[in-house]
Amino acid sequence: MSDQLQRFIFDDTDIRGELSRLDQSYHDSLNTHQYPEVVAQLIGEFLAAVALLSATLKFEGTLTLQARSDGEIPLIMAEATSENDLRAIARGAEDARSNDFKTLLANGQLSITIEPKQGKRYQGIVSLDGANLAECLEGYFQQSEQLSTRIWLSCDHQQAAGMLLQELPASHNINPEQRQQQWQHLTQLADTITAAELLALPFDQILYRLYHQEQVRIFDPTPLQFKCSCSEQRTLSALRTLGQQELTEIIADQGSIEIHCEFCHQHYQFAQPDIDKLFQATVH
Ligand SMILES: [Zn+2]
């Protein structure tokens, strides 16, 4: 029951929900990185959140949630693909100790980027001025999508979990007052969930605990897994932008080109024949 995404809807309303929980995929994402506790915890929240967001967006590709700041964590990011492959990283945060979100990510900006397999890249950016990641994401949806959205996130260093409720455009219920009442009722109930319950209870028990008096429809859960999108081919493609001459000079100087993937620690090594082949292949 771990590492899953669970969609649910409330009958006769235009409100949907998602639950995410990560266990093994969280551990695999932390990998052998020696993150301080507060950083590992925030990475869990980023992962739980990016899984929730990827479920709300219809897209084929990669969704990236990234924060940059002047605080103790200069960079933190998590990615989810439409195949529910997750990965995450924090950079430059070796000395992060604060328990305060705003100190960790002072003067920060949060970007949400969708890179579809086909079509245009989309990016939305909001200031990180909420008290926690969930609040910042709620602000993002309010500003950019104009969809009422509430998000609950929790991480205890073993697991990460999240819940999302989102109001959809009027379809089942077009009465604005009733819509508002339904939204308030369902979000107030959701607010009674504790961080511990969100992490520990099976999804059906969470939904029963919150909504046993509501008509909730649940869908088949989707598995989530850690999987890095790096590959030899993609690494070579990235190197291409440096140009054949520069790459040849690096090899002459250092013997080979070595690339380390920060997400999964995969090591790539390229020699002159790899570079020659890379540029041959693209000459038509
Ligand atoms: Zn990798």
CA of 61 to the centre of ligand 1 (A): 17
Tokens describing residue 80? 């989810």
Q: Which domains, from first to last, does the chain contain?
A: 4-226 (3.55.30.10), 232-280 (3.90.1280.10)
Which helix or strand (DSSP H or E) is residue 97 part of? none
pLDDT tens-digit readout, 209-261: 999 999 999 999 999 999 999 999 999 989 999 999 999 999 999 999 999 99
Per the prediction, the chain carries an average pLDDT of 94
The pLDDT assigned to 282 comes to: 56
How remote is the CA of residue 183 from the centroid of ligand 1, in Å? Answer: 41
- 52, 18 in Cβ contact below 8 A? yes
Helix (H, G, I), strand (E, B) or coil at 177: helix
Model confidence at 274, in pLDDT bands (50, 70, 90)? very high
Determine the distance separating the centroid of ligand 1 and the alpha carbon of 100, expressed in angstroms. Answer: 30
d(C-alpha 122, C-alpha 114), whole Å? 5
pLDDT digits (tens, 9 = 90+) for 207-220: 999 999 999 999 99
Separation of 233 CA from ligand 1 center, angstroms?
Answer: 12
Q: How far is the CA of 243 from the centre of ligand 1 (A)?
A: 23
Residue pair 162/154 in contact (Cβ under 8 Å)? The answer is yes
The Å distance, Cα 227 to ligand 1 centre, comes to 8
Cβ neighbours around 127 below 10 Å, total:
13
Contact 152, 187 (CB under 8 A): no
Q: How far is the CA of 151 from the centre of ligand 1 (A)?
A: 29
Q: How far is the CA of 152 from the centre of ligand 1 (A)?
A: 29
* Ligand 1 centroid – CA 77 distance (Å): 14
Distance 230 CA to ligand 1 centre (A): 4
Structure tokens at 25: 């995929």
Cα 49 from Cα 20, distance rounded (Å): 8
Give residue 280's pLDDT: 85
How many whole angstroms from 229 Cα to the centroid of ligand 1?
6
Distance 133 CA to ligand 1 centre (A): 25
**What's the CA-to-centroid distance between 44 and ligand 1, angstroms?**
18
pLDDT-above-70 percentage for the chain:
98
CB-based neighbours (< 5 A) of ligand 1, an ion: 228, 230, 261, 263-264, 266
Instruction: Give the strand pairing for 257-260 and 216-218.
Output: unpaired
**What is the Å distance from ligand 1's center to 262 Cα?**
7
What's the gap in Å between 83 CA and the centre of ligand 1? Answer: 16
